Amino acid sequence: MRTDRLENQTAFDLLAEPAHQRLLYGALKAANVTKGHPQFEDCVTTAHLTWLAAYQNFDPDLPENLADFRKFAFRRIKWRTLDYLRKQTLRQQSQVAMENAARLSITPMAKRERQWQLTDLLTSLLAQCRPGERIYLTEFFLAEQTVAEIMRTHGVSRRTVYNWRASLLKKAQALYEAEQ
């Protein structure tokens, strides 16, 4: 690969020749890009850069193999242009209309804000809990254990676990009402 600045200048000087300009626009036409195409200017820029890349990647010496280089550059420009247009089409298809964008950008923040409020509520609640209520809060909500598993793990009755839950819910409701 040739990446010398003088070599790049030689590539663009070669492209400036009318025959090579026709080759460039012919490759664009083969990719169905004409002057009326909405992305014509972008495709021309892509074609110029592809010409330079083709020049840098062409192995044989150029003055002797100019005809082969023209075929090589034509194919490169055509296929790179088709790839560029394909990517642009996919990008446009995945874009969201402006009337839908506001709803999409706000909804994730609303969910995250509710999650933050719940985290704040649980943190405040944990600070006010008695030991049994703390056990229920951590085991039930964080470890996702059932009432029966909490009973067995801590050696308490079912009624005790339900009492922990009832007092915890009263404190949670008081905290929630205090925040409102």
Q: pLDDT value at position 4?
A: 58
Q: pLDDT value at position 101?
A: 63
| DSSP state letters, 113-170 | HHHHHHHHHHHHHHHH--HHHHHHIIIIIIS---HHHHHHHHT--HHHHHHHHHHHHH
Instruction: Give me the residues of the chain with pLDDT under 70, please.
Output: 1-6, 63, 96-108, 180
Q: pLDDT value at position 159?
A: 92
